[in-house]
Amino acid sequence: MRGSIDPFTNGLLACDHRTTFAEDRGLQALDHQVLLAFLLTLGAGLSTGIGSWLGVLSRRFSPGLLTTALSFSAGVMIFVSFVEIFPKARESLTPALGTSTAYLVTVLAFFAGMLALALIDRLLPSHELAILPLREGSDSSALMRTGLFSALAIAIHNFPEGLATFVAALSEPRLGIGIAIAIAIHNIPEGLAVSAPVYYATGSRSQAFWISFASGLAEPVGALIGYVFLRSFLNDVVLGLVFASVAGIMIYICFDELLPAAQRTGAKHHLMMVGVTAGMLVMSISLVMLS
C-alpha cells in the first residue's frame, strides 16, 4: 500500500530513534558529571573563605588548636594521596602500559609533581604559612608582604589542585569527592594564613577577607582552564599522569607547609601526631561511607 513502511525500514527507524535517545541520555549524564565536578571544585575553593573569616574575626589563636588543625589537614591529604589517588593513577595507566611500566610511570609522575611544586616555591618569594605570632602594631609592611605572597603562592598551588578535583570527579565521582574533602579541609588554614597578616597590616576586615578569598577562587578557575586544554585528549594515560602528579603535589604541601607551620605554632609535639592520625581516621571513614 502507498505510504506503508516495510518492516526492515521500520526497524531501522526504531533503532535510530533508540540510538538518538541513548545519545541524549549520554550527553545529559556527561552534563551532570561536569556540573558535579565543577561544584565539587568550587566548594573546595570556597572553603578558603572559612579560614578567611577566622583570620579577621578572631582576636587570638590557640597554638594547640592551630597545631591540631594544620596537622589534621596534613593527615587528610597524606591519607587520600597514598590510599586513593596514587593507586587510582596506577590503575588508570596499567591497561595502556602494563603492570610494571605503569607502576614506574606512576612513581615518576608522583615525584615530578613534587619537583614541579618545589621549583615553583623556589621561584616565588618566601611565603611560609605565618599565623603566629600576629599582633596589632607589628610591622605592617612585613605582614602585608607575608599575606600577599602567601595569597600568590596559594593561588598557584590551587591551580593543579582544582584540576585534579575536577578531572577526578569526571572520572570517578567517589574519588572526586574524596579529593574535594581533603583539599577543602586543607584550604581552611590557608585562608587563615592569608587573611590574618593582611588584617593586622591594614586593619581592614573586608580587604583581608577578599584577598584571602580570591586565592581560593584560583581552584575552580584552574579546573576550567585545565579542562579546556585537556578535554580533547583526555584518556586513561592522561588521567593517570594527572592523578600521580597531584598526589606528589599534595604530599609536598603537607611536608613543606602544613606540618612545619603546625610545628612553628609552639604547641606540644604530640598534638601534631593526634591531628595527623585524626585526619587520616576521618578521611578513611568518609571514603568507606562513600563506597
pLDDT mean for each 10 residues of the chain (291 residues): 52 51 50 83 87 72 73 87 92 93 97 90 63 52 69 77 82 82 81 77 80 85 81 83 89 86 74 89 84 70
Does an H or E element contain 263, and which?
A: helix 259-264
Are the C-beta atoms of residues 175 and 117 closer than 8 Å to each other?
no
pLDDT at position 21 is: 47
pLDDT at position 205 is: 81
Distance linking the first and last C-alpha atoms of the chain: 59
List the one residue out of 56, 64, 53, 77 whose CA is nearest residue 185.
77
List the one residue out of 51, 130, 67, 64 whose CA is nearest residue 262.
67
Query: Nine-digit cell at 188?
Result: 581552611
Are the C-beta atoms of residues 51 and 208 closer than 8 Å to each other?
no
At residue 75, what is the residue type? G
Residues 59, 65: Cα–Cα separation, whole Å: 14
pLDDT at position 131 is: 52
pLDDT at position 251 is: 92
Beta strands (DSSP E) in the chain are: none
pTM: 0.74
pLDDT at position 59 is: 59
